[in-house]
Amino acid sequence: MKILHIVQDLGFGGVTIVIANLAKAFCKLGVENIVITPQIRKELTGLLHSCSSRIFVLGGNINPFNSIDYILTRKGRIVEIISREKPDAIIVQPG
């Protein structure tokens, strides 16, 4: 099973902790994690890669309260990743 996470900036804060913990828990269950984010802290990159995750850093800034705007402005690239990776589920953090 593959789960695609579309998340805000993975720097510091609650959403970063949630995504890291979800990725670790899903990995233990044998789920493949795929992450799309505008930017990511280097320390977190190592953790996510250890959970057999693929990370797509699309750049840009994002209002942490409006992931929908980020999705719409990066729609073409996100659709391309979804078409190629064929995830079974998509999680958008925060909604």
Domain count, the chain: 1
Specify which residues 83 forms β-bridges with. Answer: none
pLDDT tens digit string along 13-32? Answer: 777 778 888 888 998 999 99
Number of Cβ within a 10 Å radius of residue 11: 14
Query: Residue 6: phi, psi to the nearest 5?
Result: -110, 115
Task: Look up the domain containing 56 and give its range.
Answer: 2-93
Domain of residue 46, CATH code: 3.40.50.80
pLDDT tens digit string along 85-95? Answer: 999 999 887 65
CB 81 within 8 A of CB 2: no
